[in-house]
Structure 1
Amino acid sequence: MPKDMVKEDTSGPRTRAPRLRKPTAQDGAAIWELIRACKPLDENSMYCNLIQADHFRDTCVVAEVDGDILGWISGHMIPNDDAFFVWQVAVSPKARGLGLGKAMLFDLINRAETDGARALKTTITKDNDASWGLFRSFARSIGGDLSDAPHFTRDAHFDGQHDTEHMVTITLPQEHDALKRAA
């Protein structure tokens, strides 16, 4: 985990580094609240986040400090593909700028459940500068190639109601230890 995960708060005691862990079903409501606080992320139902935290816990991660969930990444291995898909990244406004998003990505890629992944994939709209920055930084950190192409388009998939989502693909080093060293 990056050393900058401890941030000085002059209004109170020093903030501890977040603990990264697999979510539990009991985290569903807190994850839903975190996502709601991270505009403009798409909000799913609380039930969706509960199912993710329960059924997909092995490929999702939460970051918490003193019981407060400050970060969340949902993901899954793509069926019949050797790729890990990142669905959503949320970092609390009070934990931004600490490298938490990248730390959570490393945590997920270093899990046994993602060992077969040869690529990390996600979709991002062209105007989402924060996500582009996170995934470009992650690709640089691991020495992976990043490519993108329109995937879910505004008119064909979203009935004109949502911007085109570009499929971002980052090649992952095939030696698992290379990722551990990059973290």
Structure 2
Amino acid sequence: MAQGIGDNGAVRGNRWSMAIWGGAALLLALPAVAMRFTTEVDWGPEDFITMGLLLAAACGGYEVATRISGNTAYRAAVAVAIVTAFVTVWVNLAVGMIGNEDNPANLLFGGVLLVALLGAVLAWFRPRGMAVAMATAALAQGTIAVYALFAGHGALALFIGLFVLPWLLSAQLFRVAARSLSQPRNRP
């Protein structure tokens, strides 16, 4: 079990650690299994390396978050943000969100991730600042949806716009974490 020091100095563990890393390993193994049964899945070594790095970054990021705070809302907010970022990168690498994966407009989504990451670092990963960072990432995502709409990609604009929702959910969960952490604790 992964452990860290809690807000009150107690050792804190992540009981989901094995499930998270095991799920990532299973997800990475799925294409290898699928390739044995169908020719429609055709991954090369570079695909497995890329996905392995993405999964390691996502799982490692969540492990770090569990050490930063034992607050359930904070951890849920981080999980939502990480999954949203992961799916954004995965879709863009696989097929692209705007046009195909080679469309330079897809680089805009890297900007959304940069906004979220830079905002998190500037907030020193504190929940109140993280809420602002995730709301700003939602705004950036929404701006790309509007761009896609005016660029003639109406159906894609709706799909891209749906990614605003998890960024906003993450922001709201960080707000909840900030409120709960700012309330005085009852000590016996």
| Same fold per superposition (TM over 0.5) | no
Q: Flag the structure with higher helix content.
A: 2
Q: TM-score, normalised by structure 2?
A: 0.26
Larger Rg: 2
Q: Flag the structure with higher strand content.
A: 1
